[in-house]
């Protein structure tokens, strides 16, 4: 029998992350000491009170049916969290939908809002799942370059009129992955005006909302008129180290939330109820834990940035998120430099072009190892004499 794949599958090539991971495994197999700073998966545990809540409910045999949707308890907790953390009131009945990680919502929303050929405005470089969602919907991406000279914010004025007219969604992500930028209030206000004028739904990905070091990131929903034009995705993966639990949510425009809820009711059966209970508790008691988590990442950031500066790699210190977005030295591409770091220093980072054309010339370094390991990574780079 001959099995053929759909044409669509040509959009789902093996990501550079898997290639690097295989290369890394081969090196480890050959006995090399490798430090992996490439993946954005938290290495730290969730709060113990959240683990306890999860295990307590997991012991209850009645909790194993389909949950179907988000529970009222979870939606109330999201509403409480936004009120508490951002002074934003959310109607827990109409303005929230639970997702299986924010990724679930991010990749499916284009199918809810666009027809084939409609344009989706997307940051370049940007988180890889945006492109997956665009491909699933057979929509057309229009890449908004994030340039250093524009403070890594998309230049809305540079988007041609014919693109604006055909655009149905604008994807934004602040603090961003891979570029750890914060949005300004003025930028978000401009986005609201732009979106309203051209009937574009704004999807703000706020997955790194709790990982900031000085200035607190702005929720898109705090901007006047934002709820009329868009939704915000948030997640418990990075804020509470619950990445493996696959729980996130979208909040905002009730029409969009209702449509996404309807779509999801046709494709999944919800998140395990004990996970929803544990996530609800995390959202209700976030304060203390988030502060401690930020301090851990801040210490890591400072240790790594100062170490790299000392050996001559003048990386910028990120104001938020768990990533450094570092320029590669002259005469290297992102990829050639990433391989050089593995081969000669035993340190794995992600080449910037994996996140889009504009990522060329950069690598992303994730703060996913403890301070001592980061210091060791610096030492290994120093000994490689690349700098
Ligand atoms: C910018 C961004 N958005 C969304 C996600 C997806 O997170 P999750 O599906 O775990 O909520 C990630 C994960 O790395 C991310 O970096």
Mutate which of 17, 100, 102 for ligand 1? The one with the most ligand atoms within 8 Å of its CB, which is 102
Burial class of residue 29, CB neighbours in 10 A (0-12, 13-18, 19+)? exposed
**pTM listed for this prediction:** 0.97
Task: Say if residue 14 is in the same domain as residue 120.
Answer: no
Which atom of ligand 1 is the closest one to the Cα of 173?
1
Write out residues with Cβ below 6 Å of ligand 1.
40, 101-103, 127, 173, 177, 205, 207, 235, 237, 243, 248
Structural domain contains residue 2: no
The owner of tokens 């599958």 is 9
Tokens (6 digits) for 19: 């290639």
Please check whether residue 332 is in contact with residue 312, taking contact to mean a CB–CB distance below 8 angstroms.
no
Share of the chain above pLDDT 70, in %: 100
Task: Say if residue 212 is in the same domain as residue 90.
Answer: yes
Q: For residue 39, what pLDDT is reported?
A: 86
Which atom of ligand 1 is the closest one to the Cα of 248?
11
Q: Nearest Cα to 69, choosing from 221, 268, 212, 225?
A: 268
Helix (H, G, I), strand (E, B) or coil at 168: strand
Structural domain contains residue 1: no
Q: For residue 116, what pLDDT is reported?
A: 96
259-293 per-position pLDDT tens digit: 999 999 999 999 999 999 999 999 999 878 999 99
Ligand 1 center from residue 83 Cα (angstroms): 23
Q: Which of 240, 263, 285 is the last residue of a domain?
A: 285
Q: For residue 19, what pLDDT is reported?
A: 85
Structural domain contains residue 128: yes
**What is the CA 314 to chain-centroid distance, rounded?**
25
Ligand 1 center from residue 128 Cα (angstroms): 9
Which residue owns the Cα nearest ligand 1 atom 5? 103
Q: Which of 267, 285, 303 is the last residue of a domain?
A: 285
Structural domain contains residue 83: yes
Ligand 1 center from residue 213 Cα (angstroms): 19
When pLDDT is cut at 50, 70 and 90, the band that residue 26 belongs to is very high
The owner of tokens 């210091």 is 375
Ligand 1 center from residue 207 Cα (angstroms): 6
Task: Say if residue 86 is in the same domain as residue 212.
Answer: yes
Task: Say if residue 298 is in the same domain as residue 194.
Answer: no
Mutate which of 43, 100, 101 for ligand 1? The one with the most ligand atoms within 8 Å of its CB, which is 101
Mutate which of 130, 235, 247, 283 for ligand 1? The one with the most ligand atoms within 8 Å of its CB, which is 235
Ligand 1 center from residue 358 Cα (angstroms): 20
Task: Say if residue 299 is in the same domain as residue 222.
Answer: no
Which DSSP string corresponds to 212-270? BSSSPPPPGGGSTTHHHHEEEEEESTTTSS-GGG--EEEEE-HHHHHHHHHHHHHH---
Mutate which of 146, 175, 177 for ligand 1? The one with the most ligand atoms within 8 Å of its CB, which is 177
Which atom of ligand 1 is the closest one to the Cα of 236?
11
When pLDDT is cut at 50, 70 and 90, the band that residue 18 belongs to is confident
CA distances from 95 to 256, 297, 298, 343, 347 (A): 9, 32, 33, 49, 43
Ligand 1 center from residue 344 Cα (angstroms): 30
Ligand 1 center from residue 177 Cα (angstroms): 9
Which residue owns the Cα nearest ligand 1 atom 1? 177
Ligand 1 center from residue 349 Cα (angstroms): 18
Average pLDDT over residues 171-199: 98
Q: Which of 266, 285, 304 is the last residue of a domain?
A: 285
Task: Say if residue 322 is in the same domain as residue 370.
Answer: yes
84-123 per-position pLDDT tens digit: 999 999 999 999 999 999 999 999 999 999 999 999 999 9
128-145 per-position pLDDT tens digit: 999 999 999 999 999 999
Ligand 1 center from residue 206 Cα (angstroms): 9
Q: For residue 385, what pLDDT is reported?
A: 93
Ligand 1 center from residue 17 Cα (angstroms): 15
The answer to whether residue 331 scores a pLDDT higher than 80 is yes
Q: For residue 15, what pLDDT is reported?
A: 73
Which atom of ligand 1 is the closest one to the Cα of 235?
11
Please check whether residue 113 is in contact with residue 168, taking contact to mean a CB–CB distance below 8 angstroms.
yes
Mutate which of 15, 39, 98, 103 for ligand 1? The one with the most ligand atoms within 8 Å of its CB, which is 103
Task: Say if residue 251 is in the same domain as residue 295.
Answer: no
* Distance (Å, whole) CA 45 – CA 19: 27
Task: Say if residue 139 is in the same domain as residue 19.
Answer: no
Domain with residue 84: its CATH number is 3.40.640.10
29-48 per-position pLDDT tens digit: 999 999 999 988 899 999 99
* Distance (Å, whole) CA 364 – CA 180: 10
Structural domain contains residue 53: no
Please check whether residue 367 is in contact with residue 324, taking contact to mean a CB–CB distance below 8 angstroms.
yes
Number of domains in the chain: 2
Task: Say if residue 330 is in the same domain as residue 230.
Answer: no
Task: Say if residue 35 is in the same domain as residue 131.
Answer: no
Task: Say if residue 201 is in the same domain as residue 335.
Answer: no
- Mean pLDDT over each residue of the chain, to the nearest integer: 96
Q: Tell me which residue range forms the domain holding 133.
A: 62-285
217-263 per-position pLDDT tens digit: 999 999 999 999 999 999 999 999 999 999 999 999 999 999 999 99
Structural domain contains residue 180: yes
Which residue owns the Cα nearest ligand 1 atom 3? 207
Structural domain contains residue 50: no
Task: Say if residue 243 is in the same domain as residue 310.
Answer: no
């Amino acid at each position: 029998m001959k099995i053929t794949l759909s044409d669509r599958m040509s959009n789902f090539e093996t990501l550079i992350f898997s290639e690097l991971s295989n290369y890394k495994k081969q090196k480890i197999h050959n006995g090399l000491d490798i430090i992996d700073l490439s993946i954005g998966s938290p290495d730290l545990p969730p709060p113990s009170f959240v683990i306890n809540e999860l295990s307590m409910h997991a012991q209850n045999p009645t909790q194993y049916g389909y949950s179907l949707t988000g529970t009222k308890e979870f939606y109330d907790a999201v509403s409480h969290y936004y009120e508490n953390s951002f002074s934003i009131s959310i109607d827990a009945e109409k303005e929230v939908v639970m997702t299986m990680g924010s990724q679930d919502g991010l990749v499916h929303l284009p199918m809810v809002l666009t027809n084939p050929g409609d344009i989706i405005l997307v940051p370049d470089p940007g988180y890889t799942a945006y492109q997956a969602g665009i491909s699933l919907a057979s929509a057309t991406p229009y890449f908004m370059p994030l340039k250093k000279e524009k403070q890594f914010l998309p230049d809305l004025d540079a988007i041609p009129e014919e693109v604006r007219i055909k655009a149905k969604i604008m994807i934004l992500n602040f603090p961003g992955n891979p570029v750890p930028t914060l949005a300004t209030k003025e930028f978000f206000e401009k986005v609201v005006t732009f979106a309203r004028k051209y009937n574009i739904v704004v999807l703000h990905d706020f997955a790194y909302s709790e990982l900031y070091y000085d200035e607190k990131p702005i929720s898109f929903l705090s901007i006047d008129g934002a709820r009329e034009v868009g939704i915000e995705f948030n997640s418990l993966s990075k804020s509470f180290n619950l990445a493996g639990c696959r729980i996130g949510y979208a909040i905002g425009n009730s029409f969009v939330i209702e449509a996404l809820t309807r779509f999801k009711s046709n494709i999944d059966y919800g998140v395990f109820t004990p996970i929803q209970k544990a996530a609800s508790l995390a959202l209700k008691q976030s304060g203390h834990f988030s502060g401690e988590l930020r301090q851990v990442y801040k210490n890591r950031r400072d240790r790594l940035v100062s170490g790299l500066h000392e050996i001559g790699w003048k990386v910028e210190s990120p104001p938020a998120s768990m990533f450094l977005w570092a320029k590669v030295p002259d005469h290297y591409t992102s990829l050639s430099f990433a391989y050089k770091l593995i081969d000669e220093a035993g340190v794995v980072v992600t080449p910037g072009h994996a996140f889009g054309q504009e990522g060329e010339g950069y690598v992303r370094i994730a703060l996913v190892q403890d301070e001592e390991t980061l210091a060791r990574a610096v030492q290994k780079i120093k000994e490689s004499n690349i700098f």
